[in-house]
Amino acid sequence: MSNKDNKVTEENSTGRYSYFYNKKIKQAEQDIKFRKQYETIGKQTSQLLKGLTIYVNGHTIPGRLQIHDMVVLNGGNFLHHLSSKGSATHIIASSLPPKKRLEFKNYKVINPQWLVDCIKQQKIVPWQEYSIIKSDIEQPSILKISSSSANKTPPNCNDPNFLIDYFKHSRLHHLSEWKASLRQKFIELYQDIPLLTHSNSSYTILHIDFDCFFATVAYLFRDKKKFPTLDFDKDPIVVCHGVKNSDIASCNYAARKLGIKNGMWVGTAEKMLPNGIKLTTLPYEFENIDNGSKAFYTILQSIEQFYYVLPVSIDEAICVMSKNAMENKQTLLQLCNAVRQRIKHETSGCIVSIGVSDSLVLARLALKMAKPNGVFMFDNDNESQDLNDMNQFWGSFKLDDLPGVGRSTLKKLRYKYPKVKTLQDLRQTCQDIISLQSILGNKLGEKVYLALRGEDDEESARIIYDPINMFQRKSISIDINWGIRFKDMVEIDKFLDICSDYLVNKKLAEYNKLTSSITLKLMKRCVDAPVDPPKYMGMGRCDPFTTSSRLGVPTNDGGIIATELKHMFRTLPVPPVELRGISIQFNKLVDPDDPKNSNVKKGLSLLFQKDQVTTTPSPSSRSIESPLHNVESNDPHRKYKRLKRSPVKEREDQLESNQRNAFQQQFFQELPTQIRKDVQHDLKITRKVNDSKLKRMKEELQRRENAIRNMNSHFMNSDSIFVPIKFQNETNFEKICSMVNDWVRETIKEKGPHERDLHFFKKYLNKLCDSDRVHFVLRLADMISVTLNLMAHKYGNAEGFTEWEIILIKFIIPLMNRNRHTFRTERKLDIEYDI
């Protein structure tokens, strides 16, 4: 098949040569249609490439044909065969097999981007940066061996390059990055053009998407020696890294016929093959995918009728045009086919399908109808559309074909309407919005209700009426849920440093933002999940834990952020060895140049200075540069060593035979305080600047003082506090927390809590557990542990101190363990597609 294609290409290219040649001469009398069609290539010729002779080797994007056009239009020579050795000045290729590498080693072999950039900038850019050869052939065999053996080293999250290496191979990371960058480009491109209005609400929507994009590109760029007879139309092909528990990024339509889907694991897909049929797995072609997408967007953006080309993802865009931009359906269809033809052409073989309608949902559904390799126009106008057609249209979709309906929603719908299989069924069964809303919630219910009538909900339509705002970044985050296997907190701290560095220097810097709110989410292996999940280095089944923190003063200081993250980590009950995934988000982004925030930096420095005066007697280091960072990075082991000596730990050593449970000792050794103890003053800098926190602390202080005044050795002199809460939900947990804290603090200094108070306290805790609020118990336990640690150095020998330790270890922790099941790790949905 590929051979045939190549032939066609050759013929075309010769045929077209004369066309372009003519075109160049007859520039003045441009046929408008053709100008339109070819303007991306550059409607004016230039002499940019004069004197250069260019040869294309193998498969490229833009394809050989486009390169030919670009070269010729810009005054260069295009070499059809390399027979005339030495005559080529440049060879364009995406990659070279070793043999060719040797053969071409004296040529300037560059990737196609070089040509694109030359033409874009209208100058010959240095070729070295685009060189194909330099990267891996430069070093002869010795290095090759060492690098190939280095490649064999198993993934290790302690490797300083782990994060980057991982991202390099992660398809989902690429998808996210690409999407973000497309959105950014959209903003730059369209921010000055007026928004569309609802009033003028007759728009035609074209939803355009490559058919099985990754699979197509992987096929086109496959190693043809390895797969000489592979047939894309007949053989099931998937793109993946591995062989069994590896995700399928994309599978061709031959595979889909057998029931294979994107996201499925290879092993599962193989089970669906009929006897005798083999599944072909191809590697990812990230760079070529990117190139294909560039061509795709360039073409779409060159189409005058499109008011917007809204990026959905790397391979998918929504084009919006005024309804009267096209005369009739016929011309619209022609446009679609021209676009399809041109994209196929310029990506040398990638197919797009197009769904056309007058709402986003319908265009999306029409696209689904159009696939593979087609155009589908759906007219929702009841009068003009045959009822049968309508029924057939809606009847051909499964429930989760509706945008917004995923696994979870599908389950809910199935549960409520077991008989409903297609959207047509759902249309008939669910006539009113209320019943949908009661199952799916307010918004989703409405969305589905409208979608079934072919209308967009307000939120979805925002992409048309307010795309700039919608594409504006509101948060920055990274997730790593693969390859995470740490031994202890030291390793994790280092990793958090790396993440923080990545986020700050790569992301915050790129967008020139500060952040004032951080969220940390950890994935902890489910208690009943195997230590080694089915997927190699995967996360397996996990319980998620999140916590977030306001920074009060926006910052882009990696040190402050890293410290905060380390602190936050320790507030979550996840022992290092159970950690399977980390995600870090900056939820609130602040523009440092915004005049509103002009006092931010000043405030920051003031606070730092002020705090430094109180923390360090010697005012020598007055630098505003993160004192935290220094403390943290100078000696990450210091606090860890200290941890080992913490009183709780000693205590636990004594008691260890009695109490050893899933709330691991390790967690309690490493509760927030220990860190806070060591970097206490420094943390205050970040934490206390927060106004609200300050206020709360002041209030607490006030309350505490009052409480202390009113109490003697024990301040709960009656059944007072805990009894009512058991029955009245309205009682405020925060206040209880604060009171308990006072109570603990006071009684630590003396002989411990009064028996009666303790009794009620335990009763209260039991109540909390019974009412499924173990997380409150956890918080109380955390708080008590914190208090113990804080007071260890002064009251470590007091009777009350020991008392409280025993209460914590012998009562509270076991209580939490007993009730863990209500807290976390119930059954949990099957994470994997399989199973």
Ligand X SMILES: Nc1ccn([C@H]2C[C@H](O)[C@@H](COP(=O)(O)OP(=O)(O)OP(=O)(O)O)O2)c(=O)n1
Partner DNA sequence: TAATCATCATAG
Partner DNA sequence: CATCGCTATGATGATTA
Contact 11, 242 (CB under 8 A): no
With CB cut-offs between 5 and 8 Å by kind, which of ligand X, DNA, none does residue 211 bind?
Answer: ligand X
| Segment contacting ligand X by CB under 6 A, of 95-103, 204-212, 458-466, 712-720 | 204-212
Beta bridge partners of 207: 318, 355
CB closer to DNA out of 127 and 545:
545
Taking CB under 7 A as the rule, does residue 158 contact DNA? no
Q: Which of residues 525-544 bind DNA (CB under 7 A)?
A: 533-540, 544
CB-nearer residue toward DNA: 284 or 801: 284
Q: Which is nearer to ligand X, 286 or 486 (CB)?
A: 286
Cα–Cα distance, 654 to 645 (Å, whole number): 13
Instruction: Please tell me whether residue 801 binds ligand X under the rule CB under 6 A.
Output: no
- 470 interacts with, out of ligand X, DNA, none, CB within 5 to 8 A per kind: DNA
The binding track of 811-830 with respect to DNA, each residue x by CB under 7 A or -, is: ------------------x-
175 or 333, CB closer to ligand X?
A: 175
Site for DNA in 305-344 (CB under 7 A): 312-316
**Comparison of 152 and 198: residue with beta carbon closer to DNA:** 152
Q: Rg of the chain's alpha carbons, rounded to an integer? A: 32
List own/partner pairs for 219-227 with CB under 8 A and 24 or more apart.
219/252, 219/282, 220/59, 220/288, 220/348, 220/349, 220/350, 221/59, 221/94, 221/95, 221/285, 221/288, 222/282, 223/97, 224/2, 225/97, 227/280, 227/282
Say which amino acid occupies 171: R
- Per CB under 7 A, the segment of 327-335, 375-383, 404-412, 708-716 that binds DNA is 404-412
| Residue 262 binding ligand X, by CB under 6 A | yes
Spacing of C-alpha 228 from chain mean position: 37
* 252 counts as binding DNA under rule CB under 7 A: no
* Element spanning 588, H or E: strand 579-590
Residues 699-718 that bind DNA (CB under 7 A): none
Quick one: which of 107, 210, 376, 823 contacts ligand X (CB under 6 A)?
Answer: 210
> Measuring CA to CA, which residue among 478, 486, 477 is closest to residue 537?
486
Q: Which of residues 711-750 bind ligand X (CB under 6 A)?
A: none
Q: Which does 832 bind (CB under 5 to 8 A by kind): ligand X, DNA, none?
A: DNA
315 assigned to a ligand binding site: yes
**Residue 15 binding partner per list DNA, ligand X, none, with a CB distance cut-off of 5 to 8 Å that depends on partner kind:** none
Of 268 and 626, which has the nearer Cβ to ligand X? Answer: 268
Contact between 315 and ligand X by CB under 6 A: the answer reads: yes
Q: Give the span between the Cα atoms of 508 and 586, in whole angstroms.
A: 9
b (16+ CB within 10 A) / e for 389-399: ebeebbeebeb
Please choose which of ligand X, DNA, none residue 155 contacts, taking the beta carbon within 5 to 8 angstroms, the exact cut-off set by kind.
DNA
Residue 753: both structure tokens together: 């809590």
Say whether residue 283 binds ligand X (CB under 6 A): no
Least Å distance, CB 492 to ligand X, is: 29
**Window of 13-21, 210-218, 500-508, 706-714 that interacts with ligand X by CB under 6 A:** 210-218
| 213 within 8 A of 175, measured Cβ to Cβ | no
SS3 call for 91: strand
Q: In the range 367-396, which residues lie near ligand X by CB under 6 A? A: 371
Which of 92, 350, 370, 478 binds DNA (CB under 7 A)? It is 478
**Contact between 285 and ligand X per CB under 6 A:** no
Site residues for ligand X, 211-230, by CB under 6 A, read 211-214
Binding window for ligand X (CB under 6 A); candidates: 208-216, 330-338, 614-622, 778-786: 208-216
Among candidate residues 469, 550, 559, 472, the one with its CA nearest the CA of residue 513? 472
Footprint on residues 411-450 left by DNA (CB under 7 A)? 441-445
How far from the centroid of its chain's Cα atoms is residue 681's Cα? Answer: 35
φ/ψ region of 476 (left if φ > 0, alpha if ψ in -120 to 50, else beta) reads: beta
CA angle 338, 344, 346 (to 5 degrees): 100
Q: Which of residues 585-644 bind DNA (CB under 7 A)?
A: 585
Residues 679-708 that bind ligand X (CB under 6 A): none
**Interaction partner, residue 371 (ligand X, DNA, none; CB < 5-8 Å by kind):** ligand X
Binding segment (CB under 7 A) for DNA, from list 9-17, 59-67, 581-589, 648-656: 581-589
Closest CA to 555 of 519, 518, 510, 610: 518
- Alpha-carbon distance of 35 to 25, in angstroms, equals 14
Q: Which option in DNA, ligand X, none does residue 557 bind, with CB closer than 5 to 8 A by kind?
A: none
* Among DNA, ligand X, none, partner that 212 touches (CB below 5 to 8 angstroms by kind): ligand X
263 binds ligand X (CB under 6 A): yes
Q: Is 316 annotated as a binding residue?
A: yes
CA–CA distance, 249 with 261 (Å, rounded to integer): 9
Selection from DNA, ligand X, none that 403 binds (CB < 5 to 8 A by kind) is: DNA
Please report which residue ranges of 30-140 form alpha helices under DSSP H.
32-42, 64-73, 98-103, 113-121, 133-137
- What residue type is assigned to position 228 of the chain? P
Give counts: helices (H), strands (E), the chain: 39, 16
Residues touching ligand X: how many (CB under 6 A)? Answer: 15
What is Dmax (Cα atoms) for the chain?
Answer: 102
Instruction: Give min distance, CB of 256 to DNA, in A.
Output: 15
Q: Does 211 count as an annotated binding residue?
A: no
Q: What contacts 491, CB < 8 A, 6 or more positions away? A: 157, 158, 576
Confirm or reject binding of residue 546 to DNA (CB under 7 A).
yes
Q: Specify the amino acid at residue 404.
A: G
Q: Enumerate binding residues for ligand X (CB under 6 A).
A: 171, 175, 209-214, 249-250, 262-263, 315-316, 371
| Residues in the annotated binding site | 209, 315-316
